Amino acid sequence: MKVEIDQKSGFCFGVVNAVSKAEEALQSNDKLYCLGDIVHNGMEVSRLETLGLITIDHKKYFTLKDCKVLLRTHGEPPSTYEYARENNIELIDATCPVVLKLQQRVRRAHEDMQQQQGQVIIFGKKGHAEVKGLLGQTGNRAILVENEADLEQIDPQKPLVMFSQTTKPLDDFHRLSAKIQERAQAPTDIKDTICRQVANRVPRLKIFAAGHDVMIFVGGRKSSNAKLLFAVCQQANPNSYFISGKEELDTNWFTGHNSVGISGATSTPQWLMEEIAEIIRKI
């Protein structure tokens, strides 16, 4: 049986950078906290925790003093940095450069829109870590939209600027932004801020999944990116299966088939996909 790993899958450069910073900091033997899961992949989080990484939530963070905290790729609102300055917390900032640049653009747009009595619109998932960081740049005054029903919050008489969470699907962004422009009666400025390293995986993944008898997609259950990319696999290949670890493999999936493709989300480590590929080869 031919087993092939999608070489365009796995960690994006932002996650590679965050994991590298965590591993480097852990070598000092100092206690290192991470604000939220460093990646939405339980297997990789567990691996880093065995090295000493301590994952905490925001409630715990706002009780800390005199320590070292890693900020993951998704980015944080200004309040996180303010608390660190006031409480002698050393921050290891692993915010993805793409997200960091977007935060800066959102902050400047908010300042401009305030002068024009306008609106900042964020297309993203409610509660997502990156979205919380973006909203924080506007003092949580930006309008968050997830779907067409949310457009009712937008005042068509006021100017607006729209941004997107970096990992949202391009098609959804284009469809929603077109609806906003149809309704608007004031100047609109639509900013396509979707990360192409993520978006470009979709067309490549369609071809890869269709080229195999069976498709195994490896991802964390918490990962929005994993859910999106797995849906792409299912559309291209009905024999697609979502797993988070090797224990979820079912030998019946491979009966009568000659080729297996393996792919993963931007938060899926290469070592995990290789481990699963080796098990499938033995099957």
Which residues belong to the annotated binding site for dimethylallyl diphosphate?
A: 40, 74, 128, 223-225, 267
- Return phi, psi of residue 77, to 5°: -75, 165
Which candidate in 130, 146, 248, 274 is catalytic?
130
Distance in angstroms (rounded) separating the CA atoms of residues 175 and 72: 30
**What six digits make up the tokens of 91?**
């921050």
User: Is residue 82 flagged as an active site residue?
Assistant: no
DSSP secondary structure letters along 186-248: S-EEE-----HHHHTHHHHHHHHHHTSSEEEEE--TT-HHHHHHHHHHHHH-SSEEEESSGGG
Determine contact, residues 218/244, Cβ cutoff 8 Å. Answer: yes
Burial 112-134 (b: 16+ CB within 10 A, else e): ebeeeebbbbbbbeeebbbbbbb
- The owner of tokens 């909203």 is 135
Q: 4 - beta bridge partners?
A: 261
Closest CA to 134 of 148, 146, 144: 144
Residue set of the binding site: 12, 40, 74, 96, 128, 166, 195, 223-225, 267
Distance in angstroms (rounded) separating the CA atoms of residues 179 and 238: 32
Residue set of the binding site for isopentenyl diphosphate: 40, 74, 128, 223-225, 267
Q: Which of the residues are catalytic?
A: 130
